[in-house]
Amino acid sequence: MSAILKINNFISAFIDALKSIFYIRLWTPFFIFFLISIAFAYMILNPFSGPWSGFVTWIGASSLFGGGEAFTHYPQHLLISPSVHSHLNLVLSIIVDSLLTGAAFIIFAGFFRAQKVKFSEAVSRAFSSYHWLVLASAVIYAILYAVQLLLPEIFMQMLIGNPRRMFFFIVALKLFMFLVFSPLVYTIPYIVLKNENFFSAFLNSIRFFLKNIFTTFFAIFITQLVVLPFSLSLDYSGWIADKFSPETIAVILYIEIFAAMIASFLLTAMLARFFIEYNE
What is the predicted pLDDT for the residue at 7? 86
Mean pLDDT across 27-33? 98
Q: How far apart are CA 37 and CA 261, in angstroms?
A: 10
Per-residue pLDDT of 221-241, as tens digits, reads: 999 999 999 999 998 888 888
- Is the confidence at residue 156, as pLDDT, over 90? no
Question: HSE (CB half, 13 Å, CA atoms) of 231?
Answer: 17
Q: How far apart are CA 278 and CA 280, in angstroms?
A: 6
What is the predicted pLDDT for the residue at 66? 63
User: Which residues in 90-129 are b (16+ Cβ under 10 Å) and which e?
Assistant: beebbebbbbbbbbbbbbbbbbbeeeebebeebbebbeeb
- Percent with pLDDT over 70 in the chain: 97
Per-residue pLDDT of 89-134, as tens digits, reads: 999 999 999 999 999 999 999 999 999 999 999 999 999 999 999 9
Per-residue pLDDT of 58-95, as tens digits, reads: 787 777 666 667 777 777 888 888 888 998 999 999 99
Q: How far apart are CA 98 and CA 100, in angstroms?
A: 6
195 secondary structure, DSSP code: -
* Contact by Cβ (8 Å): 37, 92: yes
Where in the chain are the domains? 3-279
Q: How far apart are CA 135 and CA 161, in angstroms?
A: 40
What is the predicted pLDDT for the residue at 208? 96
Whole-structure pTM value: 0.92
Question: HSE (CB half, 13 Å, CA atoms) of 108?
Answer: 33
